[in-house]
A and B are shown apart, each in its own frame.
Chain A
Amino acid sequence: MIASLIAQASEWQAPELDWHALAPELVLVVGINIVLLVDLWIDQSKKWLMASLAGFVMLGAFIPIVTLAVIGDETRSMFGGRYVIDEYALILKALFLLVGYVIVLLSQTELEEGGYYQGEYYVLLLVSVLGMVMMASSRDLVSVFVALELLSIPAYMLAAWRKRDTKSNEAGVKYYLLGVFASGVLLYGMSYLYGTTGSTKLSDIGDALTDDLLPMQVIAVAFVIVGFGFKVSAVPFHTWAPDTYEGAPTPVTAFLSVASKAAGFVGLVTMLFVAMHPADGVYEPFLWILAALTMTVGNVLALRQTNIVRLLAYSSVSQGGFILMPLAVMASGDAAESALKSVVIYLLIYAFSNLGAFAVIIAVSRKTRSGEITSFGGLMSYAPGLGLLMTIFLASLTGIPPLGIWIAKLQAFKTVLDAGDGAAYALAIIAAVNTVISAAYYMKVLREMWMKPVPDGDTTPISAPQPVWVALGICAAGTIVLGLVPGLVLRFADLQDLTSAFGR
């Protein structure tokens, strides 16, 4: 075998690289090294520069994405279709970089005041974003796996960033153990997919799978979904999420609940649409149960939370159920295109609203030093600006028009109606009931802010730092504009290239 490999090697040719298409990743890689080196030589008193530098790297990587989107009418693919830059990838890369930038803004003062290691933090954050950016383009089992680990391993360390705090330790260890276990299960599924189809390229796997699946292929599809289920914290694989979200530093929590979750969904969507679509007999019922459980359990547990971060953790679990819903019906009727659209739209809008809510929590807890919901009492009386923003974000998360997420929910319901069979309608009813339940706990926070008195009569105004206000501005603008002008994001998703992104 070795001899034949060496014989092949002489006729080996370097693959052709499309440097423009790879530019976002390259900017990130170069930026990571610059941040690492500058951190090595910079004086301790100038460490605040690291945040600006990391922010510039994120924005720098954004530029080639814009130019690609402006120029690009053809799909650029490399390595024989194993690394593809299409509209789908571009939109999600833009999302990940924007979320990364907002997280840098949110982390800045938290890190300076907490005395944490700043340079290393931003390096890990950038590496994680690089993994996400890669995930959006990966169309091969190996690169999906490497991207997943590239985005997860730094996130484990970020969750445990407060080294001396036992809660943060616990958050990191729980996230790490379940995350690594999940990637083991995912890999086992991937190895069966490779073994039964003979290729690691996703589109080849999709061609090789047929309607009558081998038992091993059934196991493979189930294991792959379980592996990503942990990443997107779908019930019953959500147990790490609330503990990790509560224990990790709040900016990291925001990052995990938005970007890391979105990256998990991107991987799952790519696997489902490109590789596993003939296996709809297996994944449809499986995802149906996951979606129904995730929405319901997440909501019911959120109802009895007293800690605001835990409440948002369970809320983000249940929002994950809404994102799973279109995927659970994508093979019935002609729902496939609209399922892809609604997942992308949901991920985009959810990112703005959820990040905004976390930004308000970061600003308020600078004063109250507490994570309890009661610490928000009377927020409107002494910080009307923050109170109003929190109202907007929570109302959007509930799905009240004309704020962001209602469009996403509408699109998800539309997909289910497109599918139009009994199971889909049942799922739609469960989702509708859950929307109402979720209103209860979002309103609990709002009631605290608007109606209740200030807990200890302390009405000194909140001094939120400049970067947090910028982050709040970006999130509020995203939430409101996308809600008022849904055409903006819907047209985005109507692009021919997005719906035919995977050649279907």
Chain B
Amino acid sequence: MYAANFLLLSAVLFSIGVFGVIARRNAVMVLMSIELILNSVNLNLIAFALMNDNVDGHIFALFVIAVAAAEVGVGLAMVLMIYRNRRSIALDELSEMKG
């Protein structure tokens, strides 16, 4: 069925997102990768709602979109905060505490 294509696309998006979170050192790029992961979930939910022929997935996707917006709001505020204190948003420089 053609819904499999959506699932494939979302799996690819998810993998790109996970790679971005692990490999990127720029905080904003990491935030964008997290958005990719969340949007791959949305794609999944919509495709499954189509397959299962009920609206639960649509509702779930709406909740995910709303919560993702709140998360990114907090995330950008934090990026701004570390930029003010350090003049840099490179995550690998955030290593004051170790062990």
Contact = CB atoms under 8 A, between A and B. Distances in A.
Contact of A173 (B34, B59, B67, B94): B94
B78 A160 contact: yes
A242 interface: yes
Interface in A164-178: 164, 166-167, 169-174, 176-177
Give the size range of B's interface with the partner. 35 or more
A153 B44 contact: no
B91 interface: yes
Contacts of A185: 37
Given A194-B45, A194-B56, A180 B34 contact: yes
A169 B97 contact: no
Contacts of B7: 195
A142 B14 CA distance: 20
A379 to B, nearest CB: 24
Interface string B70-81: 110011001101
Contact of A188 (B41, B71, B81): B41
A141 B97 CA distance: 36
A142 B67 contact: no
Contacts of B82: 169-170, 173
A228 to B, nearest CB: 16
A173 B78 contact: yes
Contacts of B91: 173, 177
Nearest to B51: A195
Given A188-B41, A200-B60, A5 B55 contact: yes
B70 A191 contact: no
A447 interface: no
A170 B98 CA distance: 11
A158 B21 CA distance: 23
B37 A188 contact: yes
A172 B51 CA distance: 40
A200 B62 CA distance: 14
Interface string B18-48: 0001000001001000100110110011011
A246 interface: yes
B56 A184 contact: no
A176 B78 contact: yes
Given A149-B67, A200-B56, A176 B74 contact: yes
A198 interface: yes
A187 B13 CA distance: 14
Given A146-B67, A153-B70, A167 B60 contact: no
B97 A246 contact: yes
B64 interface: yes
Given A184-B38, A187-B41, A166 B86 contact: yes
Nearest to B46: A191
B60 A194 contact: yes
B48 A142 contact: no
Contacts of A194: 45, 48, 52, 56-57, 60
A142 B57 CA distance: 10
Interface in A240-276: 242-243, 246-247
Given A160-B81, A188-B41, A191-B45, A180 B60 contact: no
A48 interface: no
A157 interface: yes
A146 B63 contact: yes
Contacts of A180: 34, 71, 75
B20 to A, nearest CB: 10
A117 interface: no
Given A170-B96, A184-B37, A246-B97, 6 more contacts: A171-B97, A191-B44, A195-B57, A198-B52, A199-B54, A199-B56
The 8 closest A-B pairs by CB, nearest first: A195-B48, A184-B37, A191-B44, A198-B52, A187-B41, A243-B97, A200-B56, A149-B67
27 contacts: A142-B56, A142-B59, A142-B63, A153-B71, A156-B74, A160-B81, A166-B86, A167-B97, A169-B78, A169-B86, A170-B82, A171-B97, A180-B34, A180-B71, A181-B21, A184-B34, A185-B37, A187-B41, A188-B44, A191-B45, A191-B60, A194-B60, A198-B52, A199-B54, A200-B57, A247-B96, A301-B99
Interface of B: 7, 14, 17, 21, 27, 30, 34, 37-38, 40-41, 44-45, 47-48, 51-52, 54-57, 59-60, 63-64, 67, 70-71, 74-75, 78-79, 81-82, 85-86, 91, 94-97, 99
